[in-house]
Amino acid sequence: MVEVLADIIDVLADPIDGTDLAFGDSDCSTLKSASGHSYDIARQGYVTLAGGAGLRYTGDDAKMITAREEFLSGGHYAPFVEAVTGNVQDVLDDAGVAEDASPVICEVGAGTGYYLAHTLDGVANSRGVGLDVSVPAAKHLAKSHPRVGAVVADAWARLPLRDNSIDAITVVFAPRNAEEFARVLKPGGQVVVLTATTGHLGELREPLGIIDVERGKVERMIAQAEGHLVPVGDPELVEFGMNLNQQAIATQIGMSPSARHIHPEVLQERIAALPTEMHVTARAYVTRLGRPCD
Ligand SMILES: C[S@@+](CC[C@H](N)C(=O)[O-])C[C@H]1O[C@@H](n2cnc3c(N)ncnc32)[C@H](O)[C@@H]1O
């Protein structure tokens, strides 16, 4: 696992001052920056790269990560995964990344690494940085793919990545920091964002008492990126049906913020009152964003 961090050390930077990071000792248990800050590598293979004040967020807890792992392993979101990977391949083609290059793909808010692992499988010789503020997520990330280096970091802080170092960034239902993305992308690099849209999981909203995705979410995301990133082409709608049994529905809700807002017993009762299998719609937009000057 430390070997994977060695593969991406050339893109990692000190979260405090942006200086380069290198292995700090012969047994490879720390990363040390050119300015002297030291960061321990956990025995599970991830490294926490946070500034002096530490992490302001904890991200998804272990229960949510386990639910995410179980739901995604059912393959229900395969069309989303394909869409993200396909867009990353297009980004690299458009940027003219050579066949024999080793492009770096960073997923921000990478969760269990399910999407990033699939994308790395779709791009020969690629290297992955899985970044998440959640420690339980990082433990999964470190095991998710032989080419994923797992980093605990806050997407809203200075990213622990060097300027102009990343070929493509993916963000799947996770926070977006346009200013930092613009800083770390290589010229020609782009961000691929998957954003849930109104009607996503629509059939479950009323019976389970979960709120719908607000209208205009993609437009707001594009407006927030203004000054740093601009859309490349039109957002692409990815919509498909899933047949979910009650266990799959329970894990779907368990991995989402709704899990925090409804009492577990109430949620269990509502799920038990559903048909044994339901047809549920998945809807999200894939948007590509690039630097205005590229
Ligand atoms: C909805 S999950 C999506 C996970 C993954 N992209 C997927 O779709 O399977 C959002 C992820 O973003 C992470 N996250 C939330 N706030 C974050 C922050 N400020 N910085 C980095 N990651 C964050 C959470 O821990 C969680 O893993």
Residue 128 has pLDDT above 80, yes or no: yes
pLDDT score, position 256: 87
| pLDDT (tens digit per residue) in 170-185 | 999 999 999 999 999 9
Q: Provide the percentage of residues in the chain whose pLDDT is more than 90.
A: 89
Torsion sign (Cα): 224, 221, 213, 267: negative
- Check pLDDT > 90 for residue 259: no
Q: Verify whether ligand 1 is closer than 6 Å to residue 160 (CB atom).
A: no
Nearest to 59 by CA among 125, 157, 145, 126: 157
Cα 280 from Cα 253, distance rounded (Å): 13
Tens digits of per-residue pLDDT, 8-54? 999 999 999 999 999 987 778 999 999 999 999 999 999 999 987 78
Dist. CA 100 → ligand 1 center (Å): 31
E-strand spans in the chain?
A: 21-23, 30-33, 38-40, 47-48, 104-108, 127-132, 148-152, 166-172, 185-196, 230-231, 236-245, 277-290
Task: State if residue 174 touches ligand 1 by the CB under 6 angstroms criterion.
Answer: yes
* CB-ligand 1 contact for 70 (6 Å cutoff): no
Tokens of residue 201, six digits: 């999981």
Return d(Cα 244, Cα 176) in angstroms, integer.
29
Contact 9, 22 (CB under 8 A): yes
Question: Is 114 close to ligand 1, i.e. is its CB under 6 Å away?
Answer: yes
Q: Whose CA is nearest to atom 1 of ligand 1?
A: 173
Q: For atom 9 of ligand 1, which residue has the closest CA?
A: 111
Q: How confident is the model at residue 130 (pLDDT cuts 50, 70, 90)?
A: very high
Q: What pLDDT is stored for residue 51 in this prediction?
A: 84
* Angle of helix 135-144 versus helix 62-73 axis, rounded to 10: 40
Amino acid 210 reads: I
Answer yes or no: are the C-beta atoms of 159 and 178 closer than 8 Å. no
Residue 40 to residue 241: CA distance in whole angstroms: 44
Q: 169 pLDDT exceeds 90?
A: yes
Task: Extract the tokens encoding 9.
Answer: 């050390």
User: What pLDDT shows up at residue 27?
Assistant: 73
Residue 173: per-residue pLDDT = 97
CA 212 to chain centre: 22
Q: Which ligand 1 atom is at minimum distance from the Cα of 256?
A: 1
56-290 belongs to CATH 3.40.50.150:
yes
Residue 133 near residue 50 (C-beta atoms within 8 A): no
pLDDT over threshold 90, residue 67: yes
Most distant CA pair in the chain, distance: 60
Considering Cα of 105, then 106, then 107, then 111, what sign does the dihedral take?
positive
* CB-CB neighbours of 55 under 10 Å: 17
Measured in whole angstroms, the distance separating CA 143 from the mean position of its chain's CA atoms is: 15
Q: Which atom of ligand 1 is nearest to the CA of 59?
A: 25
**Ligand 1 atom index nearest CA of 137:** 27
Of 90-94, 273-277, 290-294, which gets the smallest average pLDDT?
Answer: 290-294
Task: Indicate the SS3 state at residue 123.
Answer: coil
Looking at residue 1, what is its pLDDT?
58
Q: What percent of the chain has pLDDT over 70?
A: 99
Give the model confidence (pLDDT) of 187-241 as tens digits: 999 999 999 999 999 999 999 999 888 899 999 999 999 999 999 999 999 999 9
Closest CA to 171 of 82, 225, 81, 107: 107
Dihedral sign for Cα 61, 194, 55, 167, please: positive
- The answer to whether the CB of 60 is under 6 A from ligand 1 is yes
* Pocket lining: 110 vs ligand 1, CB cutoff 6 Å: yes
Lowest-confidence segment of 44-48, 49-53, 113-117, 251-255 by average pLDDT: 49-53
Alpha carbon distances (Å) from 153 to 39, 118, 231 = 12, 22, 26
Question: What are the b/e assignments for 66-83, b being 16+ CB within 10 Å?
Answer: bbbbbbbeeebbebbbeb
